[in-house]
A and B are shown apart, each in its own frame.
Chain A
Amino acid sequence: MTLSPSVLSVPMAPGVLPRCAEARCVVRSNLPVNGEYRLLTLDAPPEVLDCQPGQFFQLLCPEPEGEHPFLRRPMSIYGYDAEAGQLQFLYKVAGAGTRGLATLRPGGMLNVLGPLGQGFSMPQHWQDLLLVARGVGLATLAPLARAAQRSGRRLTAICSARRPELAMSVDLFRGYGAEVIVVHDEDGSSTPEALRGLIEARIAAGRVDAFYTCGSSRLLRLLQDLGQRHGIPGEIAMEQQMACGLGMCQACVRPFREEGGIVQRRVCREGPVFPLLEAIA
Chain B
Amino acid sequence: MSAADLSVRLGAMTLANPIMPASGTFSEDLADVFDLDLLGAHVLKTIMRGTRAGNPVPRVCDLQGGMLNAIGIPSKGIEDFRSRMLPYWQGYRAPLVVSISAHTLDEFARLCAEVSLPGVAAIEANISCPNIEADGNAFAMRPDTTAEVMRRLRAETDLPLWAKLTPNTGEPVAVAQAAEANGADALVTANTALGMAIDVRTRRPRLGNGMGGMSGPAVKPIALRMTYQCARACTIPVIGCGGIATLDDVLEFLIAGASAVQVGTATFQSPTVMARLVAELGDWMQAQGLASLSEIIGSVEMPEGEAA
Interface residues of A (CB under 8 A from B): 8, 10-13, 16, 18-22, 60, 68-72, 96, 111, 113, 240-254, 264, 269
User: Which of A11, A71, A241 interacts with B34 by CB under 8 Å?
Assistant: A11
Contact string against A for B residues 43-58, beta-carbon threshold 8 Å, 1 for contact and 0 otherwise: 0010000000110011
- Those 3 A-B pairs whose CB atoms lie nearest each other, nearest first: A19-B32, A247-B29, A68-B64
Do residues B69 and A70 form an inter-chain contact, with CB atoms below 8 A? no
Q: Which residue of A lies closest to B274 (CB)?
A: A10
In the complex, what residues of B have CB within 8 A of residue A10's CB?
33-35, 272, 275-276
Q: Which residue of A lies closest to B58 (CB)?
A: A241
Question: When A and B form their complex, what is the total count of cross-chain residue pairs whose Cβ atoms lie within 8 Å?
Answer: 116
User: Which of B57, B69, B272 interacts with A240 by CB under 8 Å?
Assistant: B57
Given contacts A22-B272, A70-B67, A71-B269, contact A249 B62 (CB under 8 A): no
Do residues A60 and B276 form an inter-chain contact, with CB atoms below 8 A? no
The smallest C-beta distance from B126 to any residue of chain A, in angstroms, reads 15
Do residues A246 and B271 form an inter-chain contact, with CB atoms below 8 A? yes
Interface size class of B (residues with CB under 8 A): 35 or more
Do residues B31 and A248 form an inter-chain contact, with CB atoms below 8 A? no
The smallest C-beta distance from B98 to any residue of chain A, in angstroms, reads 16
Q: Which residue of B lies closest to A60 (CB)?
A: B269
Do residues B270 and A71 form an inter-chain contact, with CB atoms below 8 A? no
The smallest C-beta distance from B246 to any residue of chain A, in angstroms, reads 15
A10 to B270, CA, bound (A): 12
B27 interface residue, CB < 8 Å from A? yes
Do residues B271 and A70 form an inter-chain contact, with CB atoms below 8 A? no
In the complex, what residues of A have CB within 8 A of residue B29's CB?
246-248, 269
Q: Which residue of A lies closest to B21 (CB)?
A: A248
The smallest C-beta distance from B33 to any residue of chain A, in angstroms, reads 6
B268 interface residue, CB < 8 Å from A? yes
Do residues A247 and B27 form an inter-chain contact, with CB atoms below 8 A? yes
Interface residues of B (CB under 8 A from A): 24-27, 29-38, 45, 53-54, 57-60, 62-67, 69, 71, 74, 216, 267-272, 275-276
A16 to B270, CA, bound (A): 20
The smallest C-beta distance from A105 to any residue of chain B, in angstroms, reads 23
User: Which of B34, B38, B216 interacts with A70 by CB under 8 Å?
Assistant: B216
Do residues A264 and B54 form an inter-chain contact, with CB atoms below 8 A? yes
Do residues A70 and B54 form an inter-chain contact, with CB atoms below 8 A? no
Binding site secondary structure of chain A: loop
User: Which of B32, B60, B269 interacts with A241 by CB under 8 Å?
Assistant: B60
In the complex, what residues of A have CB within 8 A of residue B37's CB?
13
The smallest C-beta distance from A41 to any residue of chain B, in angstroms, reads 24
Do residues A241 and B57 form an inter-chain contact, with CB atoms below 8 A? yes
Do residues B268 and A11 form an inter-chain contact, with CB atoms below 8 A? no
A246 to B54, CA, bound (A): 18
A223 to B86, CA, bound (A): 41
Do residues B57 and A249 form an inter-chain contact, with CB atoms below 8 A? no
Do residues B35 and A244 form an inter-chain contact, with CB atoms below 8 A? no
Do residues B35 and A250 form an inter-chain contact, with CB atoms below 8 A? no
The smallest C-beta distance from A120 to any residue of chain B, in angstroms, reads 20
User: Which of A96, A111, A250 interacts with B71 by CB under 8 Å?
Assistant: A250
Interface pairs (9), CB distance under 8 Å: A11-B38, A71-B60, A72-B269, A113-B271, A241-B57, A243-B268, A248-B45, A251-B59, A269-B29
Most buried by B among A11, A18, A60: A11
Given contacts A70-B64, A70-B269, A243-B268, contact A250 B59 (CB under 8 A): yes
In the complex, what residues of A have CB within 8 A of residue B63's CB?
70
In the complex, what residues of B have CB within 8 A of residue A240's CB?
57
Given contacts A70-B62, A71-B62, contact A249 B69 (CB under 8 A): yes
